[in-house]
Amino acid sequence: MTAEPVPQVSSTAADTVSPTTTREPGWTAALRERLARMLPITELLPTRQPAYVASWVYVFGVVTIAALVWVLISGTVLAFFGAAWWHISPIGHFFNSIHFWSVQMFFIFMVLHLWGQFWGAGWRDGRARTWMVGVVIFLVSVVTAFTGYLVQQNFDSQWIAVNAKDAVNGTGLGGLFNVTNFGQQYGLHVMLFPIGVTLLVVLHIIQVRSRGVVRPIGDPGQADDAGRAST
């Protein structure tokens, strides 16, 4: 009785059959695999979106991000040249105006975005954290804009600082947050708060991409598969 030869399995086929043998050791590999599962590149940079995303309600968030980009660009230019430059130089006046109006657009469309998501119950389908991060972005942005008014170094800025000092002292934060200290407010406005807002916005975008855009109220869910609009 002769023994039948055992078929040889190539290393490529073995790796395909047993994927656990090809997993790289280490916490970085585990983190990379987790991020790939949580946010694949097809979701991070999609080519098609649900048809209802074409509504203006869903565009407000994108316009808010566009306004934030202009805020950061104009603010960086102003920070490089200093406070006196935007008061005595025509170019400084121009960039100061761009910064001011881009901030106005940022808040206008952010509030519209928040209201649209509020009335549309944007926290549905496991998106509560996405909604909460958006609210935190709004609150941090208000404080950032407040410090921005304080560093304008004009009569309006001085008036706001003097009137706000008692209010801030009443909260017990006057020792840590001196609204009449230009250097402190300037540092907070050009470094700490912008970095915080930018990181939170990036986190918010990642959350939206990983969970997808929330469906309109009453939509049965078929729109996710049936109606698709190219982006």
How confident is the model over 52-94, as pLDDT tens digits? 777 777 889 899 999 999 999 999 999 999 878 888 899 999 9
178 pLDDT band, cuts 50/70/90, is: confident
Between 18 and 145, the higher pLDDT residue: 145
* pTM of this structure: 0.74
Between 11 and 108, the higher pLDDT residue: 108
The arithmetic mean of pLDDT across residues 194-210, rounded, is 91
> What does the alpha-carbon distance between residue 95 and residue 86 come to, in Å, rounded to a whole number?
7
> What does the alpha-carbon distance between residue 77 and residue 123 come to, in Å, rounded to a whole number?
37
> What does the alpha-carbon distance between residue 40 and residue 127 come to, in Å, rounded to a whole number?
18
Specify the pLDDT at position 11: 45
Neighbour tally for 94: CB within 10 Å: 13
> What does the alpha-carbon distance between residue 219 and residue 58 come to, in Å, rounded to a whole number?
15
Q: Is the dihedral of CA 97, 98, 103, 106 positive or negative?
A: positive
103 pLDDT band, cuts 50/70/90, is: very high
The full length of the chain comes to 231
Specify the pLDDT at position 152: 85
